[in-house]
Amino acid sequence: MENKTLKWVYSPVPITFSLALLQHCKGLIFKATGESYPLELIRSMPVDPLMGSFFLIPKTYSKQQAMDELQVFGLLWSMRIDENSSRILTFLIAEEFRGQGLASGVWARFVETGTSEGITNVSLEVREENDLAYEFYLRRGLRAKGKLSQYYRESVGVAMFGPLQCPQPQSQ
């Protein structure tokens, strides 16, 4: 199902954000993950806008208007690790907008942007109990490479790695 009211746009780097937008992103991250990151950590995240980093905003808003009015409802921030690899720093959608195909849509854009920049592999960490996200990444070819105890404040993380690709169509 395609969401008719929201769109993904390229995200600027957090170091350029206003204090209000940093606080808004901190709240989004906390609501989605339970993790409370200091504003300075968010501001200094090594987000690579060329690699494919995105904001989820209302379709009728410009990126600047959404940033000014704190109308950002999802994040996909990534960084380049080396010439062929990227790492997802954070990927989340506000709870009220989940289950609408938004994650699949931005993943396809992320793959398109990354592959055009020469990226062939992606890594990330996900909470062990986040079954929906874990399954989402498995369908995209990522595999668990190990567990990270105390990676999250009150949970184990799972390190995942794999090719940067969209899911393969299911044969009928």
Average pLDDT of the residues in 12-17: 95
Whole-model pTM?
A: 0.88
pLDDT single digits (tens) 50-71: 887 999 999 999 999 999 999 9
Say whether pLDDT at 20 is over 90: yes
Average pLDDT, rounded, for the chain: 89
Rounded Cα distance, 122 and 162, in Å:
6
Q: Which fold has domain 6-163?
A: Aminopeptidase (3.40.630)
Residues whose CB is less than 8 angstroms from the CB of residue 30 and which lie 6 or more positions away in sequence, other chains included:
36, 37
CA dihedral 60, 61, 63, 67 (to 10 degrees): -150
pLDDT single digits (tens) 114-130: 999 999 999 999 887 78
Backbone torsion region of residue 127, taken as left when φ is above 0, otherwise alpha when ψ lies between -120 and 50, otherwise beta: beta
Rounded Cα distance, 154 and 147, in Å:
14
Are 84 and 21 in contact by the 8 Å Cβ rule? The answer is no
How are beta strands 121-127 and 85-93 bridged, if at all? parallel
Residue 22, classed as helix, strand or coil, is helix
